[in-house]
Structure 1
Amino acid sequence: MPEHDEGDASTGAPDDLPREAVETVERLTRLAREAVDDREASAYRDRRSAVLDDYGFTARVREDENGATLVCHPAEWLDADGVVDFEAIDDTDRATEVVLSGPGEQGAWAEAEARNRDVVEAVLEAEGSVHAANARAFADFMGNHYASPMSAAREHHVREFLEEYYPRNAWPTDEERAVVEQSLRAVFEKTETPYPLD
């Protein structure tokens, strides 16, 4: 990211976001994505907008085959309909991108793994080793593929795990396979999160 400079003297807006602002916006974005309540998620996004407004910036999350990326750029690049006007882009270096999910997100992976490990241990203590093995498989899937805690999983994550990852990569025993959905319910119960397939 370029160093923060003095910006446009006529508007008082900086030419790029300071590092501390980027870190705050990233944190609020992650909290909004992980929130299980729509009102809570909206509150985080509103706080993110307030931070960005101070610098004349806006943000969106780009989703593609490589995962999710937070994109912050000057609000002046948008037209009246909120669509990027490419003719208004004066310097692409003013934009900042932060990977939110996908390969290479080691910091987020470590944080997710720590949270997931605690959940697996809770499942082991309450439900036993068979359910814990399934919980561990789900933790590996969410951590390695999405750098996310299990509590952040949505319906498409759970279906991908059950239909693709689990039979191909988890090498479950017959006993584990027979109770895998019960195990996932235990995971969401421990994180006080609604089961996405209900």
Structure 2
Amino acid sequence: MPEAVHLPSRVGSHLELRAAIDLLAGELDEMRPGSCVALPSLLDLLLVYIIRAWMTEAPSGAWPRVLGDPVAAAALRALHSDPAAPWSNDRLAAEAGVSRPTLARRFTTLVGRPPMAYLTWWRVIRAAALLRDTPDTRATIAGRVGYGSPYALSHAFQREFGTTPGRYRAQAAKRSADVETD
């Protein structure tokens, strides 16, 4: 995904996106029972509809090409379905049904980074979500995303986010508490 996604302020041709925005606005305008459950789910849904609208509006963009390529799409499906698996370029190429050089060339060209670099990025992104959204220990999260130890996760996490998993969790909890008190 790009750093920023631009969509026109009028999303009339994307009815689902408009509906999600309206539902979210309704929840934010008047905090009602269950809002604390509805808001995170609506934000997730909004993200899905924003990505769909973006892909529709930018058919020549990178992700439509990635997802339209059977090799890159198969590799992404495999990595996303089980990020904790002991992936290697050979295993991923076999999963995609191509040679390792073919996978590396197509994946890197379409996704913008080699398969194992993408896997590292995806693992720390998943870890960040788990740190933010669950009370699981760092050791549990490390195992769930494919790291053998909390130290290994911490090293990769710090390289990607510039902070440790513990600090990230504390900052996320503080932001969440600030939102709830507003």
For the aligned pair, the TM-score class normalised by the smaller chain equals under 0.3
User: Normalising by structure 2, what TM-score?
Assistant: 0.26
Q: Give the structure with higher Rg (CA).
A: 1
User: Normalising by structure 1, what TM-score?
Assistant: 0.25
More strand per residue: 1 or 2?
Answer: 1
